[in-house]
Every structure is written in structure tokens, then in C-alpha cells.
Structure 1
Amino acid sequence: MQDFFEALRSEGKNTALPEAFDYFGKLIGSWQIDYVESNSSRTIRGEWHFSWVLEGMAIQDVIILPDYEYGTSLRIFNPDTQAWDVAYGYTGKIIRLEARKQGEMIVLTYISDQNRKWVFVKIDEDKFHWQNVTVKDDGEWHINADIYAERIK
């Protein structure tokens, strides 16, 4: 099994990936997170781990929200579209998204529903803020959930 992990993991970003599209590089590492649902104000403490994979042209993560959800995303840079193709999977479901920069934010839009978005609002060296958003008909963003993360390594 160790051979699998060694084959998957990369030491860093591939030089073929343009710096201008290195949206997710600051996320590499491990984070303690608080997942806050907007409709219930319930907070779940968890972890989110990110690593370069596939010869440094992709980033994979594992999110752990105990007694709620365990999932993984694979983000692969697509030079043809100049965007990131993203697949998120957890028990019984796979979601496809496309990630693009919008100002300082990284916006991941559902392929099957353009009104659903996941947004990295801000990424710093030691913390980040993420939101699950639904865009209403009038263009207003409804926040379904927030994640507040602090780096642990």
C-alpha cells in the first residue's frame, strides 16, 4: 500500500503549472477546521488535509468532519480551459466543479447547477475561510455553511 501513496503524492508543484494558476498551493498541509452550518448554527470541529499529487499537476484533499462527513477532492489543472477541474466525493455522491479566480476569491462552481458554489473567500499562510453558497435569482449569495481553518502543519 505504501507504493500507492508514494506514486500518488508529489513533493511540490510541477513547473509546468503556471504560477498565475497556483490557486490552491497555500493550502498544502494540515488544518484544524470549524464547520458552521448557517441554518442551525451547529459547529463541527474537524480536519482538512491537502497534498500535491499526480506529478504536481493536481491537489488532493481529505476532509474529516466526525459523525457528519468524510470526503475527498481531486483538483486537476486543465490547461485547455485555464481552470481547475474538481471532483468531490463522499459516501454515495460525487460532485463535479470548476474552479476559477474571481478577484481574491477562488470560486468553485457546480457543473450541474451554476447557482451552487464553494468559495475560498480568503487564504492566508496560517488560516483560511471557505463558504458553501447558493446564488439566489436576484444574484444575492445565501451562505449555507462556513469553514474557518487554522494551520496545524
Structure 2
Amino acid sequence: MEDFFEALTSECKNTALPEEFNYFGKLIGNWAIDYIESNNSLSIKGEWYFSWVLEGMAIQDVIILPDYEYGTSLRIYNPDTHAWDVAYGYTGKIIRLEAREQNDMIVLTYINDKKRKWIFTRIEDNRFHWKNVTVKDDGEWNINAEIFAERIK
């Protein structure tokens, strides 16, 4: 199994990935998170881990929300579109998204529903904020869930 992890993980970003598109790079590391759902006030403490993989051309993460959801995302930089192709999977479901930087945010848009988005915002060295939103017809964002993250390592 150790060979698998050595083959998967990378120590750093591949130099072929342009720095201007390395907007997920600040997330590399381990995070303590507070997950909050808006519609039912559900609040869960969890963990979120991000690592370079696939020779530094992709980032994989694992999110752990005990007794609720365990999931993983694979974010692969696409040099043809200058965006990141993202697949998020958890028990019984896989979601495809495309990620682009917009202003000071990373916006991941669902491939099958452009009104559904995941937003990384306020990304700092030791904290970030994440939102699961639905864009209403008037353009306003309805926040479905939020994560407040603090760096562990």
C-alpha cells in the first residue's frame, strides 16, 4: 500500500502548472473545520486534508464530517481551458465541477446545474471560508452550507 501512496502523492506543484492558475495551492495542508448547514442549523466539527497528487498537476482532498459525510475531490488543472476539472465523490454520488478564479474567490460551478456553486473565499495562510450556494433567478446567492476552516498543519 505504501507504493500506492508514493505513486499518488507529490511533494509540490509541477513546474508545468502556471503559477497564475495555482489558486488551490494555498489550501495544501490539514484543516480543522466547522461545517454549518443553513436550512436546519446542523453544525459539525470535522477535518479537511489537501495534497498535491499526480506529479503535482492535481490536488486531491479528503473531507471528514463524522457520522455525516466522508468525501474526496480530485482537482486536475486543464491547460486547454485554463480551469480546473473537479470530481467530488462520496457514498453513492459523484459530482463534476469546473473551477475558475473570480476576483478573490475560487468558484466551482456544477457541470449539470450552473446555478449550483461551491465558493472558496477569504483564503489566508491559516484560514479560509467555503460556501455551497444556489444562485437564484435574480442573481442573489442562497447559502446552503458553509465551512470555516483553521489550519492544523
TM-score range, shorter chain: over 0.9
Q: What TM-score results when the alignment is normalised by the length of structure 2? A: 0.99
Equivalent position of 1:143 in the other structure: 143
Equivalent position of 2:57 in the other structure: 57
Q: Give secondary structure in 2 for the equivalent of 1:26.
A: helix
Matched AA of 1:15: T
CA drift at 1:42: 1.7
**For each residue in 1:28-86, what CA deviation from the matched residue of structure 2 results, as whole angstroms up to 9, or x when unmatched?**
00000000001112210000000000000000000000010000000000000000000
Aligned CA RMSD, in angstroms, stands at: 0.4
Identity rate, percent = 79
Q: What TM-score results when the alignment is normalised by the length of structure 1? A: 0.99
The runs of 5 or more residues in structure 2 that have no matched partner are none
Query: 4+ residue stretches of structure 1 with deviation over 6 A?
Result: none
Equivalent position of 2:39 in the other structure: 39
CA drift at 1:122: 1.6
Equivalent position of 1:117 in the other structure: 117
Matched AA of 2:14: N
The runs of 5 or more residues in structure 1 that have no matched partner are none
CA–CA separation in structure 2 for the residues paired with 1:139 and 1:7: 43
Matched AA of 1:102: Q
Written as runs of structure 1 = structure 2, the 5 A alignment for 1:3-152 is 3-152=3-152
Equivalent position of 1:2 in the other structure: 2
Tell me the matched-pair count. Answer: 153
